[in-house]
Structure 1
Amino acid sequence: MSISLRNSLVPLAALALLAGCSGEPTTSTPINTAGAADSSNGFEPRELRSEYHRLNVARVAGGLSHPWGLAFLPDGDYLVTERTGDLLRISPDGSRQRIEGVPEVAAFRQGGLLDVILHPQFSENGWVYLSYSRGDSELTTTAVVRGRLEDNRLVDVEDIFEQDRRSEPGRHYGSRFAWMADGTLLVSIGDRGAEPPRAQDLGDHAGTVLRLHADGSVPEDNPFVGHEGALPEIWAYGSRNIQGMVIDPVSGKVWATEHGPRGGDELNLIEPGNNYGWPDAGLGRDYRTEEQYGEARSLPGMVDPIYEILPTLGPSGLALVTSDRFPRWQGNLLAGGLRAERLRRLVIENDVVVHDEELLTFEVGRIRDVREGPDGAIYVLTDHDDGGLYRVDIAD
């Protein structure tokens, strides 16, 4: 099957021209320090200037051990996963409690306790979903469990998914969650960094996006149900390591950011049945030879990315601005960056990125997750031994 490659990449020169025409900086810059240092966590709240809004940045909680995923509880508290294995309930004042009943995780290399998401009807059923690496120091897999949150404990914990095989090395777990409007759950699974590459094999969960019912069963309308040799959970495939994923609640579009090798970080529009090319088609360079990775940048039957994120971002965490709290950002994507230690604000028109602004550059550290909160503010997690939960609000 040949798939039309609908969008070409927007050249950086064109983005530079757009930015230059605006007369505004493309990187947020400090204005002043707002108030004294926060004695509870040692981070000074600060004010930054972006193209359209002045921003207040404050740390809600520090001292987190490689925080990875964030969810918002109805009472205003936050659920935060630590890759080292703990699930924390954090209050707006920064105090925290450890949630009991979390499964044992294989916290080696990039593995551990990873994403967290609440069931869409959490207020009625209490279900919390966790992705994590399961196994030992040599062979691991990506797994998903759910449990009901009661009195700071997960009860009725049950497995709903485990990758079809355990393997080494301990990297590229993917593991981001997103709920679709029909109540099905998308889960990204990384390619596991394995040799030979596995992301083109429909009989392997590696390098895919899965679609599951809330109880882990397979929707009958998944694109590969009934296909000989294909795993029925697979919704899309040919990805390297998706660690940012968000669904537009109006259009239903599924946006995802993906790590590339030595450059080649991507923004993709994920659709059922699509093959996103990895490793046959890619934008990055081989770590050993520095040559173009794969056969070509684009191949027939494989879907090109919407946007190549340059310079290298190391993308993890993706949010869509839907509230009117940041009026000039509505409809924009905010992509977190680990390696680049910043956010990228991506302005999209007709599925093409027309502008790209850097925010929080070297202000908070390696950004692992970014979410829009129920209050409309933007929240980020930083991936460090002494990681933090930060709140970004408008100062206008």
Structure 2
Amino acid sequence: MTNVRHLLSIVLFLHFFACAQEKKSKNSDYSYKKVVSDIDIPWSFVFLPDHSMLITEKSGELIHFKNGKKTSISGLPDITRLGQGGLLDIALHPNYEDNRWIYFTYASSEGEGSGANTALMRAKIKNNTLTNKELLYKATPNYSSGDHFGSRILFDANNYLYFSIGERGQRDKNPQDITRDGGKIYRLHDDGSIPTDNPFVNTPNAKKAIYSYGHRNPQGMILNPKTNKIWIHEHGPKGGDEINIISAGKNYGWPLVTYGINYWGTSITDHTEMEGMESPIHHWTPSIAPSGMCYVTSDKYSNWQDNILVGSLKFQFLDRCIIKNNTVIKEERLLENIGRVRSIVQGPDGFIYVGIENVGIVKIIPKN
């Protein structure tokens, strides 16, 4: 056993060294300007039609940032601050200018069990207060663990609403069981009702909102505008962070297949692929701890169009992934040591904005 562990350590070290040589840093080509200051964990943010921002502070504050001023939005539901849980993602309805709906995920203690689980709510804002609040989904049961709440929100081209919930640290119970919440991507209509063509609508005892399963902790989700496919990334354990392309009813393998190992060095499984389970199009080993994801359509940055940007919490950089035929063919590390990158958005002005823990939100500026 000692020899096996020693060999595994050597393999992981060599893999890390090889990967490090392939990742070219481009710090010198870009600078940044701080746009919003004094935020601990800007878990997510979104631009409103007037180019102001709504920002979720993980500790439980919803901030409206306009003309350099931050205003707290009151009327939030009870938010449980538990480990990785708190106030999480935020998104606008595609027809926001007409209906004014905003959507957000958060850790909630409502319902069965002690602790918390991920909830999805929609609401409107009037006079800096949330109104018309509607709880659209609440995962059950609650867990006292602070691990793996997810969570990202996305609307597709047909206005279906998708959101992710991590497996809450219950890897042997939740991700492979479609009768349980956790470790899933979910799909709803914008009012919270279940689409009749969801893959498990007619499966006895299944959670009818499930769209895909076998996930660990997805904290990045985008719509690829070239294909209209949903792309996510998710945290692996020690190694094995993944990028996956999501399809209805598919099983993405966790924890039966993974490129990662336990944090203490032991094996989780011997399998990196298995029949009937979807393989990632890309994985990071060692883990970069990905958070936030953005598909670039802007022409503000040389050769960035149709690239994907992913934040690294662990190594504190922005990872530019160059894609060809659904494969990451090259990566570049941008703004190394900028801080723990939590969220990424392409703004209405075409510039990329990045939420960084204990820094705030910055705007990336090309130097030439």
TM-score between both structures, scaled by the size of structure 2: 0.91
SS of aligned partner of 2:233: strand
Separation in structure 2 between the aligned mates of residue 279 and residue 372 of structure 1, nearest angstrom: 33
C-alpha contact 1:69 1:115 (8 A) present in aligned 2: yes
199-208 or 148-157, which moves further after superposition? Answer: 148-157
Moved over 6 A (4+): 11-17
CA distance in 1, matches of 2:135, 2:242: 31
SS at match of 1:123: helix
Matches within 5 A, 1:322-333: 322-333=297-308
Aligned twin of 1:372: 346
Deviation, structure 1 residue 56: 2.9
Report deviation, 1:269: 0.9
Paired with 1:369 and 1:378, the residues of 2 have a C-alpha distance of: 11
- Shift in Å, 1:148: 0.8
5 Å-filtered alignment, 1:147-166, equals 147-166=123-142
State the alpha-carbon separation in 1 of the partners of residues 121 and 355 from structure 2.
Answer: 22
Q: CA deviation at 1:298?
A: 1.1
Give the gaps of 5 or more residues in structure 1: 1-10, 20-24, 30-47, 50-54
Does the residue aligned with 1:347 lie in a helix, a strand or coil?
strand
The gaps in structure 2 that reach 5 residues or longer are 1-14
Q: Determine if contact 1:111/1:133 at 8 Å carries over to the other structure.
A: yes
Query: Deviation per CA, 1:101-152, whole angstroms, max 9, x where unpaired?
Result: 1112001211111001011111111111110000189421110111112222
Counterparts in 2 of 1:354 and 1:15: CA distance versus 1, 3 Å: farther
* Conserved 8 A contact 1:179-1:186: yes
Q: Return the letter of the residue paired with 2:278.
A: V
Alignment of 1:393 with 2:329, yes or no, is no
Aligned to 1:109: 83
SS of residue matched to 1:294 = coil
> Which residue is equivalent to 1:167?
143
Matches of 1:259 and 1:195, distance apart in 2: 13
Taking the TM superposition and a 5 Å limit, the aligned residue runs for 1:198-237 are 198-237=174-213
- Alignment partners' CA distance in 2, 1:195 and 1:274: 17
Q: Could you tell me which of 65, 78, 82 is aligned with 1:90?
A: 65
- 1:255 Cα offset (Å): 1.0
1: distance between equivalents of 2:139 and 2:256? 23
- Contact persistence 2:153–2:163 (CA under 8 A): yes
Q: How does 1:122-137 map to 2 (within 5 A)?
A: 122-135=96-109
Match status 1:74 vs 2:49: yes
Residue 12 of structure 1 and its aligned partner are, at CA, apart by 8.7
Report what 1:28 is aligned to: 26
Question: 2:260 matched to which residue of 1?
Answer: 284
Deviations 1:233-268 (A, max 9, x none): 000000000001100123101111110111111111
Q: Is the 8 A contact 1:314 1:337 kept in 2?
A: yes
Taking the aligned partners of 2:173 and 2:359, their CA distance within structure 1 comes to: 32
- The residue that corresponds to 2:153 in the other structure is 177
Q: What is the distance in 1 between the residues matched to 2:101 and 2:80?
A: 23
Which residue number in structure 2 is paired with residue 253 of structure 1?
A: 229
Query: What does the per-residue CA deviation read over 1:58-113, in whole Å, with 9 as the maximum and x for residues that have no partner?
Result: 111121132201111111111100111100011253x2000111112001211111
Aligned partner of 1:314 among 280, 285, 289: 289
* Aligned partner letter, 1:115: D
Distance in 2, matches of 1:195 and 1:345, equals 30
Supply the AA of the counterpart residue of 1:96: K
> In the aligned structure 1, how far is the partner of 2:19 from the partner of 2:230?
24
Q: Does 1:240 align with 2:238?
A: no
**Alignment partner, residue 5 of structure 2:** none
- The question of 1:301 aligning with 2:299 is answered no
Equivalent residue in structure 2 for 1:99, among 53, 73, 82: 73
TM-score normalised according to structure 1 size: 0.85
Q: Does the CA-based 8 Å contact 2:52-2:66 persist in structure 1? A: yes
Contact 1:243 1:316 in 2 (8 A): yes
CA distance in 2, matches of 1:278, 1:338: 21
Equivalenced residues, count: 352
C-alpha contact 1:15 1:356 (8 A) present in aligned 2: no
| Coordinate RMSD, CA, aligned | 2.0
For residues 387 and 188 of structure 1, the distance between their equivalents in structure 2, rounded to whole angstroms, comes to 26
